[in-house]
Structure 1
Amino acid sequence: NLNGNDLAATVGRVQLAKLESIIAGRRRVAARIARGLADCDGLDIGHEPEGAESVYWFLRIAVAEGAFSLSKVEIAAAVSAEGIPVNPTYRHLPAEAEWFRERKVFPPSDYPWGLPDYAGDRDAVYPCDNAVAAVESHFILSIHESWSDADVDDAVAALRKVADAYRA
């Protein structure tokens, strides 16, 4: 972040030296969870395009439509009740943000839209149907690179327990 101070920069430099091992740990955790959910009807990890390689700062868990007697939010709450760190949604779509919709990037101006050289549609609306559908069908599992195999197994067991209890 460009607004950080010298101490934050120092910590950041040290963390950069650990980045490869952090990413490897998160990929290990995500792969183990994916294997654990491979035959779990109704739950799966979020789609990753072919050739993509995520760093998994969090893990999207897909909830198949109609697979459960509860909503996605209720499934997430049930997983949370099992002690697993989840968030029922992660709806951070820039095109829906107030600063974007109301052109408040650099208040009180309406820059960049108000710049004389701006040639785009100043009133354009950008529906993000696919992004909204993805957000509405997934909840977020918070993972950490230091999770042991036992920690991952606990998370998978809780996910499977909830899936089995509420499968339609």
Structure 2
Amino acid sequence: MSAGRVPVMIPWLGEEEARAASDAVLSGWVAQGPRVAAFERAFAERVGAEHGIAVSSCTTALHLSLVALGIGPGDEVVVPSLSFIATANAVRYVGAEPVFADVDPATGNLTTLTVDAVHTARTKAVLAVHQGGVPADVHALRAACADWDLPLVEDAACAIGSTVGGKPVGHGALLAAWSFHPRKVVTTGEGGMITTDDATWAARLRRLREHGMNASAAERHTSEKPVLEQYLEVGYNYRMTDVQAAIGLVQLGKLDAMIARRRELAARYDTLLRDVPGLTPVRDPAHGQSNFQSYWVLLDEEFPVGRDELLAALAGAGVSARRGIMASHLEPAYAGHPSAPLPVTERISNDSLILPLFHTMTEAQQDRVVAALAAARAEQARR
């Protein structure tokens, strides 16, 4: 990347994270241990949950959540196609079938109506995504799922710091899965978390992430007496390291500042983009506030430049942008997979792009992004 290029994302990492990681290494305890436990407690408290279970990624968090619910072969799980493919893949991991539902055009999220259109007698769960940090209307979805006698799992990969009805996303969730990938607001490099208020599920999820053992490695190593562990069921190696958790604790302490800055930049984008007709920016829904993990714009039908052509024009101007959120049902991995018509999903996926937004972004960089969009539009209009 050239020095003058505007990146789509830069994690806000610095000396404090470096010292925390170094301290973990120098402590001699680099595997899952006391820092992981501290990160779990701090994260759960932040989102208003009783329990946090740190894992290796959001994908593994989703997988374990479905295992805990007993989802398996012959079952269906309603998911949005408009999501990173891991959402649908996690359903496949347990042998069940993802059933793709369409989404709300303004938020990119499932609604009670879109779920109701596709759920069947074989449906055993609904997996809702807080897309790009925009909170889904989980109060409505939870009420509907209760009526249908279906558990609601929340894919909150992008949503740390977002709110619904004044409460953090994750508050009151049956099971919520989180990501700490570098593109996310809080990062540990890689890693994930499950949050829940159910102590029984939390205990089982901790076993499942560590090969199904009834005593964790940390418990065995800190015990003064020999511990002969048992393996109560087939489990997985989905652990987080103490080095990652040490970074995560520092990142969590920065969260309020990160959210405030991202919302400030999003508001400034909103103002600047008024001068570029034909673009509809993502905005807060009526039921909550976004952390603006991603800031995307939807090209109106009259916009003179196609999405891919616009991405190329931005790249030529030194601006890194990304295509909009993928439509999983259009990917080769799901070729031939049965699906109802998904017009909103395909419209958002085909005609949107994600603009640069990161904590250290300057006004000059943001001005360059908007100027490049305006220039591409004007150039095509002249042709």
Segments of 5+ residues of structure 1 without an aligned counterpart are 103-122
**What is the CA distance between 1:45 and its match in structure 2?**
1.4
Q: Matched residues in 2 for 1:46 and 1:137: separation?
A: 13
Query: Match of 1:38, SS?
Result: helix
The match for 1:27 among 258, 263, 266 is 263
Give CA deviations for 1:70-103 in whole Å, capped at 9, x if unaligned: 321101210121111101333054x66777x59x
Q: Matched residues in 1 for 2:261 and 2:283: separation?
A: 20
TM-score normalised to structure 2 length: 0.34
Q: Matched residues in 2 for 1:161 and 1:141: separation?
A: 15
Tell me if structure 2 keeps the 8 A contact 1:42–1:63: yes
Q: Name the counterpart of 1:129.
A: 343
Q: Name the counterpart of 2:190.
A: none
Cα pair distance change 1:81/1:22, threshold 3 Å: same
The match for 2:245 among 9, 22, 31 is 9
**What is the CA distance between 1:19 and its match in structure 2?**
0.7
Tell me if structure 2 keeps the 8 A contact 1:23–1:55: yes
* Equivalent position amino acid for 2:262 in 1: R
The answer to whether residue 380 in structure 2 is matched with residue 166 in structure 1 is: yes
TM alignment of 1:52-71, pairs within 5 A: 52-68=288-304, 70-71=305-306
Query: Match of 1:167, SS?
Result: helix
Q: Matched residues in 2 for 1:71 and 1:84: separation?
A: 17
Q: Matched residues in 2 for 1:20 and 1:47: separation?
A: 19
What is the identity percentage for the equivalent residue pairs of Structure 1 and Structure 2?
24
The match for 1:152 among 347, 366, 371 is 366
Equivalences, count: 145
TM-score normalised to structure 1 length: 0.73
Structure number with bigger Rg: 2
**What is the CA distance between 1:167 and its match in structure 2?**
3.2
Give CA deviations for 1:98-133 in whole Å, capped at 9, x if unaligned: 77x59xxxxxxxxxxxxxxxxxxxx97455332222
Cα pair distance change 1:51/1:38, threshold 3 Å: farther
Which is richer in strand?
Answer: 2
